Amino acid sequence: MIEEAKISGYQLGMLIVGFVFGSSVILNPAAVAYQDAWFAQLLAWLGGFVLLGLYVAIYLLSPEQNLIETLREGFGKYLGSLIGLFYIWYFIHLASLVFRDLGEYMMTVTYTETPLVFLIISFSLPIAYLVKSGIEAIGRTAEITIFVIPISVLITVVLLIPNYDFNSLQPFLEEGLTPVLEGAFNNLSFPFGETVIFLMLFPALNEKDKLIKASSLGLFVAGVLLITITLRDIMVLGSNIFRRAIFPAHLSTTLLPAEIDQLIAINWLLGSGAKITVCIYATVKGLAELFKLNSYKLLALPTVVLAVGLSLWSFDDLIGLLRWSSEIYPYYALPFQIVIPVLLLIILLFKRYLR
Amino acid sequence: MFRKLAGIYNYLKHKSQDYFQSEQPQEEESEQEKVPRDIQKVKQKLAETFADCSDFVLRELKIGDDSQFKVILAYFEGLTDHEIINNGILDPLMIESKKIGIDRRHEGELIQKIKEEIINVGEVGEADTFTRTVEELLAGGTVLYIDGQGTALKFDTTAWEERGVEEPQTESIVRGPREGFVESLSTNISLLRRRIKNANLKFKVLNLGVQTNTDVAIGYLAGIVNEDVLKMVEERVQRIKIDAVLESGYIEEFIEDSPFSIFPTVGSSERPDKVAGKLLEGRVAILCEGTPFVLTVPYLFIEAFQSSEDYYNRPYVATIGRSLRFLALIITAALPAFYVAVLTFHQNILPFELLLNITAAVEGIPFSPFFETLVLGTAFELLREAGVRMPKPIGQAVSIVGALILGEAAVEAGIASHPIVIVTAVTAITSFILSPLLEPLIFIRLFLLVAANTLGFMGMGLVIITIFVHLVNLKSFGVPYLAPFSPLSGMDLEDTLVRFPLWAMLTRPRILAWREEEGEKYRLDANLIKKEE
């Protein structure tokens, strides 16, 4: 498939920041660990590096190939295509989950009387336009927008200093390691393990030597941001409210002095937007690869429509979504994020070195 | 959608091109007619061609020892200089030719003799075809047809009334040269040549417009300009086939990268110093006869924020100016939308006292903030248009009536609220800071307003992202429109939000040479030397 447009290392890093930051800041997946959530997140972050290393290794073993091509190479034409189809399903499902997250968040917090479908559709149109414009536009849009996220996080962290209560972080490991590991496991699958999707984007990188640097720096920044936000939320809200709040990050920003929380919400918009864009791009790119189409751009709008529909049909309400994403999602994502990539890596290693 | 429309547009463009191309060869054949040898025929043809042209002058003369050669001297009154014709052509022809002694023996070399020994005009040339001589006449030349020769002589006697070089009406600055371009192409070229005394400054002159035959010059600095861009410009300009080119705007519309975008991808300026600066950065200038507005390409988004004065003032002042312009962009694009979004969705973002004041001011107004903003914004645009179209003395009165009396009366009558008048006024004032973006900003303001009324801040965010995506997609002659921000080009950030001191600007804009990534080639030698000292 012809891929002319390229993205730079900086753009890839920014996309990873936006993707990982994404919706995981709206819903904190590590909250099950109460005041130790930051520790769980730290563990998940380290695990995220391992997983990203796994994905990068897969890419380096089969350079210039996207995930679908690599799967075909590893598992053979038919099984590989089948697994590729599953991955495409996973990507579009992920997009629909983020759509729903964001829609529910917006509906709960600001637009209480606006129908969910309207929110999601209006949110999906710029994304369709962006994906249709191609990977170069995606990278460059990330380049000029994502930098807002660290800045706004910094602003909230600084402005909330009067509300900090360091005692909320104690006692450390009150219930032992189990809740921490549970939180870490949840957090590893959402969002760190989801970076498997970048196997679809790595081939578009034009500065090959910057792959490892860009992706690890992106993950580093995103992890720092997430842990900072978790620490901030725990210290501002206290561990109990932190665990019980549906949107802890939003709750703590409502305490900001000038009540600028709705402006701060822009960074969740950006993060989720980056995440959905990457998901939709991976889906259309994968579909085009799978069915040997010349261009993925035509598929952008239909895929977005599909993801929007899926996001509306999948769950009845916010509670269903929360339950599913905390109890089922980690196991649902396990094969996509860990099992298949590990298998793939082993097969590729065998093919490269033992033959 | 834009792409689809652009596809249709391109199709139509090619269609019309094919049409002209298939038409042209036949025309050319009929036009490639030789100058008749018989002087009577020449006279007849000229009379036919210039029938009812009252400013056309045709003089029959007899030259030579015994007045044995019949010649016709033709020119246009008003396009030519009488003095040159009298002293440089008529006088020598009628007097010198007799002194030198041309007779029958010289018939073969008559043209040479006249050219080299008789005429004392600076630029003399020969024309073989009749069409060529007609073109020459229309361009202000004088043509001498000689009986029995089949070749005519043309003399450059161009001289017509033109406006003197004045201070430009647009783009006024405090410090800097007061000269502006004028309508004459040769004067404009000389204005640039005077600033860049360099043999590498080239001007390629083309002829555009099937009916108007307008001269258009493509100027560039050889060695600095990006060859790819230059080639693209030449191709696109040569492709233009229309009846008339009356202003450089005609050319602009044909060579734009994205004809359906609301953003300009071709720059225009009235200031020679600005255009010279752009040439020195490696851009290409397109000068058009008959207009003081010179086009420069590639045109990037950042250029709307750059004023030539930035480089004449000290860097601190320039940097403050740039920052203010960026602030103006944000205010003028988003302030009305922000106001509507706050009043409609996000009241709690305001401090309590301010909210009370605004609520008190808005109370009793029968319209929604959105409607109010829209109406006042439209009223302002109407006033602006009136101010531009009116004769200047009346224009001032219109703005006073509009701004002071109407605004105040509307508030008094309870039709509009005070805050909205403030918002509209601030938006209007700031919009003039970014004059190149005046038109796109009207659209952006409107989009943002509608979005803010529908979805508040989120809607605004979505529209802004969409505009970003559009900007990212834009290219101006192969150069990304948002460069150097996206794609990020570190060295070029020296001349964006912050203007570095001139001695710290070590490289020419690398963005303009985007495709060839050789840093060395684009180093600014003079500055390097200065730094080493």
Contact B292, B188 (CB under 8 A): yes
pLDDT (0 to 100) of residue A208: 82
pLDDT (0 to 100) of residue B411: 85
Question: Which residues 73-112 of chain A have a CB within 8 Å of chain B?
Answer: 106, 110-111
Higher pLDDT, B521 or B413: B413
At position B506, the amino acid (one-letter code) is L
Please tell me the distance in Å from B370's CA to the nearest CA on chain A.
18
Sign (positive/negative) of CA torsion A345, A348, A350, A354?
Answer: negative
The reply to whether B137 falls in a domain is: yes
Give the range of the structural domain holding residue B241, as residue numbers without chain letter. Answer: 185-299
Coil/strand/helix, residue B357: helix
Residue of A8, A106, A144 lying closest to B458 (CB–CB): A106
Pairing mode of beta strands B152-156, B141-146:
antiparallel
pLDDT (0 to 100) of residue B23: 47
pLDDT (0 to 100) of residue A231: 92
Cis ω for the linkage preceding B509 (within 30 of 0): no
Mean confidence (pLDDT) of chain B: 83
Query: Is B13 in the same domain as B43?
Result: no
Query: Is B341 in the same domain as B450?
Result: yes
State both tokens at B322.
Answer: 């740039």
Closest to A224 measured CA to CA, from A149, A130, A315: A149
pLDDT (0 to 100) of residue B521: 41
Mean pLDDT computed over A38-52: 93
Question: d(Cα A144, Cα B485) in Å, to the nearest integer?
Answer: 7
pLDDT band at B14 (very low <50, low <70, confident <90, very high): low
| pLDDT tens-digit readout, B419-432 | 999 999 999 989 98
A144: nearest CA partner in chain B? B486
Residue of A8, A126, A269 lying closest to B469 (CB–CB): A126
Euclidean distance between the first and the last CA atom of chain A, given in angstroms as a whole number: 28
Question: Which residues, including other chains, have CB under 8 Å from residue B310's CB and lie 6 or more apart?
Answer: B318, B321, B322, B499
Closest to B484 measured CA to CA, from A18, A12, A143: A143
| pLDDT tens-digit readout, A117-129 | 999 999 999 999 9
Largest CA distance in chain B: 105
| pLDDT tens-digit readout, B169-189 | 888 888 889 999 999 999 999
Query: Is B99 in the same domain as B205?
Result: no
pLDDT band at B18 (very low <50, low <70, confident <90, very high): low
For chain B, give me the number of helices (H) and strands (E)? 19, 12
Residue of A106, A144, A260 lying closest to B468 (CB–CB): A144
Query: Is B295 in the same domain as B320?
Result: no
Hey, is the C-beta of A125 within 8 angstroms of any chain B C-beta? Answer: yes
Question: d(Cα A193, Cα A334) in Å, to the nearest integer?
Answer: 9
Residue A12 has pLDDT above 90, yes or no: yes
pLDDT (0 to 100) of residue B448: 95
Query: Is B101 in the same domain as B3?
Result: no
| pLDDT tens-digit readout, B46-104 | 888 888 888 888 888 888 777 778 888 888 888 888 888 888 888 888 887 777 766 66
DSSP bridge pairs for A213: none
pLDDT band at B527 (very low <50, low <70, confident <90, very high): very low
Strands of B114-271, DSSP E: 124-127, 141-146, 152-156, 201-208, 214-221, 267-269
Mean pLDDT computed over B470-490: 86
| Domain boundary pick from B135, B156, B177 | B156
Main-chain phi, psi angles of B103, to 5 degrees: -135, -165
Lowest mean per-residue pLDDT among A81-95, A309-323, B143-157, B243-257: B143-157
- Chain-centroid distance, C-alpha A111: 24
Main-chain phi, psi angles of B6, to 5 degrees: -60, -35
Residue B516 has pLDDT above 50, yes or no: no
The reply to whether B501 falls in a domain is: no
Hey, is the C-beta of A29 within 8 angstroms of any chain B C-beta? Answer: no
- Look at A273 and B455 and tell me if their CB atoms are within 8 Å: no
- Look at B461 and A269 and tell me if their CB atoms are within 8 Å: yes
- Look at B458 and A141 and tell me if their CB atoms are within 8 Å: no
Query: Is B367 in the same domain as B425?
Result: yes
DSSP state of B158: B
Question: d(Cα B181, Cα B190) in Å, to the nearest integer?
Answer: 10
Mean pLDDT computed over B281-294: 92
- Model's pTM, two decimal places? 0.87
Query: Is B457 in the same domain as B372?
Result: yes
pLDDT (0 to 100) of residue A220: 95
CB pairs under 8 A between A and B: 84
Coil/strand/helix, residue A171: coil
Please tell me the distance in Å from A108's CA to the nearest CA on chain B.
14
Strand order in the sheet with B214-221: B201-208, B214-221, B284-288, B294-297, B267-269
Closest to B448 measured CA to CA, from B436, B459, B437: B459
- Among left, alpha and beta (phi > 0; psi -120 to 50; other), residue B213 is left
- Look at B468 and A260 and tell me if their CB atoms are within 8 Å: no
DSSP bridge pairs for B75: B57
Residue B488 with chain A: CB contacts under 8 Å: 8, 10, 143
Coil/strand/helix, residue B132: helix
**Domains in chain A and their CATH numbers?**
9-354 (1.20.1740.10)
Question: d(Cα B487, Cα B511) in Å, to the nearest integer?
Answer: 9
Mean pLDDT computed over B441-447: 94
Q: Which residue has the tokens 């560039």?
A: B220
Query: Is B201 in the same domain as B267?
Result: yes
Question: d(Cα A243, Cα A168) in Å, to the nearest integer?
Answer: 12
The reply to whether B505 falls in a domain is: no
- Chain-centroid distance, C-alpha A145: 17
Main-chain phi, psi angles of B235, to 5 degrees: -60, -50
Question: d(Cα B300, Cα B483) in Å, to the nearest integer?
Answer: 7
Mean pLDDT computed over A129-139: 91
Hey, is the C-beta of A257 within 8 angstroms of any chain B C-beta? Answer: no
Contact B74, B56 (CB under 8 A): yes
Mean pLDDT computed over B177-203: 92
pLDDT (0 to 100) of residue A355: 67
pLDDT (0 to 100) of residue B17: 55
pLDDT band at B524 (very low <50, low <70, confident <90, very high): very low
Contact A107, B439 (CB under 8 A): no
Question: Which residues, including other chains, have CB under 8 Å from residue A302's CB and lie 6 or more apart?
Answer: none
DSSP bridge pairs for B62: B70
Mean pLDDT computed over B12-32: 53
DSSP string, B25-61: HHHHHHH-PBPPSSHHHHHHHHHHHTTT-TTEEEEEE
Closest to B276 measured CA to CA, from B311, B249, B251, B245: B311
Query: Is B330 in the same domain as B464?
Result: yes
Pairing mode of beta strands B152-156, B294-297:
unpaired
pLDDT (0 to 100) of residue A14: 93
Mean confidence (pLDDT) of chain A: 89
The reply to whether B164 falls in a domain is: no
Identify the residue among A124, A144, A260 best suited for mutation to test binding to B, counting B beta carbons within 10 A and taking the highest.
Answer: A144
Residue of A106, A259, A266 lying closest to B349 (CB–CB): A259
Most confident of A283-287, B63-67, B102-106, B508-512: A283-287
- Look at B466 and A110 and tell me if their CB atoms are within 8 Å: no
Mean pLDDT computed over A222-239: 91
Q: How many CB atoms lie within 10 A of CB A342?
A: 13
Instruction: Tell me which residues of chain B have a C-beta less than 8 Å from any C-beta of chain A.
Output: 345-346, 348-349, 351, 454-459, 461-462, 465-466, 468-469, 472-473, 480, 482, 485-488
Question: d(Cα A4, Cα A296) in Å, to the nearest integer?
Answer: 13
DSSP state of B523: B
pLDDT (0 to 100) of residue B529: 40
pLDDT (0 to 100) of residue B522: 41
Please tell me the distance in Å from B344's CA to the nearest CA on chain A.
11
Strands of chain A, DSSP E: none
ipTM: 0.91
Lowest mean per-residue pLDDT among A42-46, A123-127, A234-238, B492-496: B492-496
Residue A195 has pLDDT above 70, yes or no: yes
pLDDT (0 to 100) of residue B526: 40
Mean pLDDT computed over A178-207: 90
pLDDT (0 to 100) of residue B26: 47
pLDDT (0 to 100) of residue B11: 65
pLDDT (0 to 100) of residue B326: 93
Question: d(Cα A227, Cα A221) in Å, to the nearest integer?
Answer: 10
Query: Is B442 in the same domain as B327?
Result: yes
Residue B396 has pLDDT above 80, yes or no: no
Residue B454 with chain A: CB contacts under 8 Å: 122
Query: Is B335 in the same domain as B239?
Result: no
The reply to whether B486 falls in a domain is: no
pLDDT (0 to 100) of residue B531: 41
Mean pLDDT computed over A216-221: 94
Query: Is B263 in the same domain as B403?
Result: no
| pLDDT tens-digit readout, A56-84 | 999 999 888 889 999 999 999 999 999 99
Please tell me the distance in Å from B438's CA to the nearest CA on chain A.
23
pLDDT band at B530 (very low <50, low <70, confident <90, very high): very low
Residue B480 with chain A: CB contacts under 8 Å: 140
pLDDT (0 to 100) of residue A1: 43
Number of domains in chain B: 4
